[in-house]
Structure 1
Amino acid sequence: MDQPGPSSGESLLFLTDEQLRKGIEAMFFAYRGFTADPDRILEDHGYGRAHHRAIHFIHRAPGTTVNNLLNILGVTKQSLNRVLRTLQSDGLVEARVGAKDKRERHLYLTAKGGELERALSDAQRQRMRAAFREAGPNAVAGFRTVLEHMMDPEMRRHYAAMKEPGQ
């Protein structure tokens, strides 16, 4: 019977605590790199990462409701309202009353909001593209698989529901 090779999933079941710690540390440092460029852009506007996340998901799902955004971001209503008020007063996000349910507010990026979203996403895409190019296609697929398996089931459902642009 064949023994699992070093690249098979079965051999990964026997990672040492030290190997796991190195993976955790890599995630921390990678996250710092991933957020560094957008943080500089956000700082120029007086915004933080909460603003970035809101802009990102409003862009990905135009017309999303405040409640849906609350579920995706996992923040308090008070915290999200503070972020949305700032983005709306600065002309980046507009909220429209729901056609079917007047209590719902549907969120859209304005042209100005779209410009900021592009700048933030371009910076992150550039970093991801360079890292993926260096790592190669097998690593890219494995990376995504690992991230998907780290998500809580509810977040995985939100992630799976996100449509690719143009769909």
Structure 2
Amino acid sequence: MADLKTMAPAQFLRDEELRKGIELLYFAYRDLVSDPDEALAEYGFGRAHHRVIHFVGRRPGMAVAELLDILSITKQSLSRVLGSLIDEGYVRQDKGSRDRRQRLLYLTDKGAELERQLHALQRDRVIRAYKEAGADAVAGFWRVLLGLTDPENRAAIQDFVSKS
């Protein structure tokens, strides 16, 4: 891969460099989730369970409807995953105080402990990568990640991340 610091302007926009970037995203994601995947397998859980645990842990009291929006999955898919997490005692669901139809999600103590374990596995990998890249690269990486999101979702994503 070309060194971006010595690359001529716009050389990183060449198709071959774009393909390399896409491939690096695939490999990075594969490795970022590999440790949590192994840990979750011991519980009979998968990546969908991890995403629910992560976002409910970051936003206790989140409504099911909000989680559906964040994950962009069907009610049926969420119901299956959420049902197993509730049945196993990792997540609890309360009715909203203003709207009794609303279902609010919280991690139980058991769920919070699992979330901490999973986060620690990923945190260590991200810390190592950030230290290797440096602060300027991390800031640029965040800009690229945000740039990969749909423009109409960016404000909501920035709001979510800044409140987390």
Q: TM-score, normalised by structure 2?
A: 0.91
Aligned equivalent of 1:65: 63
- Structure 1: segments with no counterpart, 5+ residues: 1-5
The verdict on how the C-alpha distance between 1:52 and 1:100 changes in structure 2, with shifts beyond 3 A counting, is same
Aligned equivalent of 2:101: 103
Aligned residues: 159
Report how far residue 143 of structure 1 moved.
0.5
CA offsets 1:85-118 (integer angstroms, 9 cap, x no match): 0000000000000111111000000000000000
Report how far residue 160 of structure 1 moved.
1.5
The verdict on how the C-alpha distance between 1:134 and 1:14 changes in structure 2, with shifts beyond 3 A counting, is closer
Over the matched positions of the two proteins, sequence identity in percent amounts to 51
Aligned equivalent of 2:113: 115
Residue among 48, 51, 70 paired with 1:50: 48
Residue among 86, 89, 99 paired with 2:87: 89
Query: Higher RCO, 1 or 2 (CA under 8 Å, sep at least 6)?
Result: 1
Q: Which amino acid is the alignment partner of residue 115 of structure 1?
A: E
Report how far residue 13 of structure 1 moved.
7.5
Report how far residue 155 of structure 1 moved.
3.6
**RMSD across aligned positions (CA):** 1.8
Report how far residue 164 of structure 1 moved.
4.4
Q: Which amino acid is the alignment partner of residue 92 of structure 2?
A: E
Secondary structure of the structure 2 residue equivalent to 1:107 = strand
2:90 and 2:110 in contact (8 A); partners too: yes
Q: TM-score, normalised by structure 1?
A: 0.89
Report how far residue 156 of structure 1 moved.
2.2
